[in-house]
Amino acid sequence: MVYQEIYPPSEDSYFMSEILERIIPNLLKKNSNIKFLEMGCGSGIQLQTASDCGIKKENIFGADINVNAVNHCKNLGFKCIHSNLFSAFKGKFDLIVFNPPYLPDDKKEPADSKIATTGGKKGGELINKFLRQARKHLTDSGRIILLVSSLTKSIDFSGYNAEVLGTKKMFFEELKILELS
């Protein structure tokens, strides 16, 4: 197995945390027993945000394709499993959070960093796979919080209602956080 570094929190991670800090308290007013999943948990920043916002730790789950990220999040005290998207899941969640690799393929980027940054040839291929699989893992009133970039192309939101929760202009792109139901 090749050693993979853990994706460190960056502007996109902190932006996602800000949005979660805003919406989770309102969601908890409607359902105090939210089951939360962070797909691609990396450093565990969103797992910690969910916990800090009041989601019960026993209802917080993480998954990552990077075994080092899984072990790191377990060491932080979270339930986390090694999974390629939903391949290791059977359950349903009220809130699924995903800050995916969303950039289009860049031939100049080193192969070892592409797993954390590249979402496919156009950038949206991994997101589309996630969206197809996520349907089976959402409760009836469940929602997805998804970060996308203006650089990401060819995302298929078929079957989802999308609402923009926030935008952030970066020097070469605009990030959007979407709520999908």
CATH code of residue 138: 3.40.50.150
Give residue 154's domain range.
11-180
**Residue 2 covered by a domain:** no
Query: Of 6 and 174, which is predicted with more confidence?
Result: 174
Domain tally, the chain: 1
Q: Count other C-beta atoms under 10 Å from residue 164's C-beta.
A: 10
CB-hemisphere CA count at 13 Å for 181?
A: 9
According to the model, what pLDDT value does residue 162 have?
96
pTM as predicted: 0.92
Q: How confident is the model at residue 119 (pLDDT cuts 50, 70, 90)?
A: low
Q: What is the pLDDT of residue 122?
A: 74
Residue 166 pLDDT grade (very low, low, confident, very high; cuts 50, 70, 90):
very high
Q: What angle do CA 164, 168, 174 make, to 5 degrees?
A: 90
Distances (CA, A) of 121 to 106, 109, 134, 147, 173: 8, 13, 21, 18, 17
Using the predicted structure, report yes or no on whether residue 63 has a pLDDT greater than 90: yes
- E strand or H helix at 104, and its extent? strand 103-104
For residue 25, being part of any structural domain is answered with yes
Q: What mean pLDDT comes out for the span 63-84?
A: 95
Please report the pLDDT score of residue 1 as a whole number.
Answer: 43
Residue 15: inside a domain: yes
Residue 5 lies in a domain: no
Helices vs strands, H then E, count in the chain = 5, 9
- Reported confidence tier of residue 120, pLDDT bands at 50, 70, 90: low
